[in-house]
Chain A
Amino acid sequence: MKTQSCVEVKNEWGIVAARQAGRSLSKEIGFGSVDQARITTAISELSRNIYLYAKRGEICLEVVEKPSKIGVKKGLRIIAQDQGPGIPDIRQVMVDGFTTSGGMGAGLPGVKRLMDEFTIDSEAGEGTVIKATKWLR
């Protein structure tokens, strides 16, 4: 049972819309205010990267489940995908302070720390898919 909803990101309003969708879904799943802020911030970083580097793409949010000691554990997965230029050197973008945009260089390493699971799939010229999951405690 997977429900997925996607928000198109092609301008600054897409960033705000993705953020709002993340906040309401994380609230619905039962995340506390701190995790809601973590999830919303992660979505904001990922959608800004899409807008900045790929010009357009989408942020999809899904409710995920996994078995645990106390039954079933729920989580929220963010999937950020675009068909942009891709990331030539993934190791480089995961270093704190690395930036090509004049930003703080806190984006991707920051997202990794905010979430529980984090994967990047990227090919130069093909695009990027980033998946990040937060589990309910």
Chain B
Amino acid sequence: MRIPILKLHQYLLISIQVELDDQTALQFQEDLLNKIHNEGSLGVVIDLTSVDMIDSFIAKVLGDVVDMSSLMGAKVVLTGIQPAVAITLIDMGIKLDDVQTALDLEQGLTKLQQELEG
């Protein structure tokens, strides 16, 4: 299974709408980095509105892909984290340090714009 990555000007947009198994998550990591490389993207928004569970493995994959993208020079914003997911992550003691977040896709894009221009 592949998660579609959409290009919008200098940005990449991803909305995760599938039940994330480990393989899909790792494949996504690789696909996103390749896409950043090929398109020369400056920013990425990963929307998690439809994701109803993030366990420690998926959290690690997401945190890693943010770090990896940043190494390449692209900024990533995670958006739409559900209340139940936020509560569970904190219960678990998982901290996504240095990860930019926003309430929704729109605010995520605004945040990227501000960061890249300001």
Pick from B21, B22, B52: contact of A37, CB under 8 Å: B52
**Residue pair B57, A103 in contact (C-beta under 8 Å):** yes
Chain B: minimal CB distance from A63 (Å): 21
Q: A110-B93, A110-B94 are in contact. Are A41 and B19 (CB under 8 A)?
A: no
Residue of A nearest to B94 (CB): A106
**Residue pair A113, B55 in contact (C-beta under 8 Å):** no
**Residue pair B55, A44 in contact (C-beta under 8 Å):** yes
What count of chain A residues pass the 8 Å CB interface test?
26
Which B residues between 76 and 112 are near A, CB-CB below 8 angstroms?
A: 82-85, 87-88, 91-94
Pick from B21, B23, B83, B91: contact of A110, CB under 8 Å: B91
A1 at the B interface (CB under 8 A): no
What count of chain B residues pass the 8 Å CB interface test?
22
Interface of A is mostly: helix
Q: How far is the CA of A38 from the CA of B85 in the complex (A)?
A: 8
A64 at the B interface (CB under 8 A): no
Residue of B nearest to A37 (CB): B84
B56 at the A interface (CB under 8 A): yes
Q: How far is the CA of A20 from the CA of B18 in the complex (A)?
A: 12
What residues of chain A lie closer than 8 Å to B82, measured between beta carbons? 33, 37
**Residue pair A33, B84 in contact (C-beta under 8 Å):** yes
Known interface pairs A44-B53, A106-B93; 7 further A-B residue pairs with C-beta atoms within 8 A, sorted by A's residue number: A13-B21, A16-B19, A33-B84, A37-B85, A41-B88, A103-B56, A104-B94
The residues of A with any CB-CB pair to B shorter than 8 Å are 12-13, 15-16, 19-20, 23, 33-34, 36-38, 40-41, 44-45, 48, 96, 103-104, 106-107, 109-110, 113-114
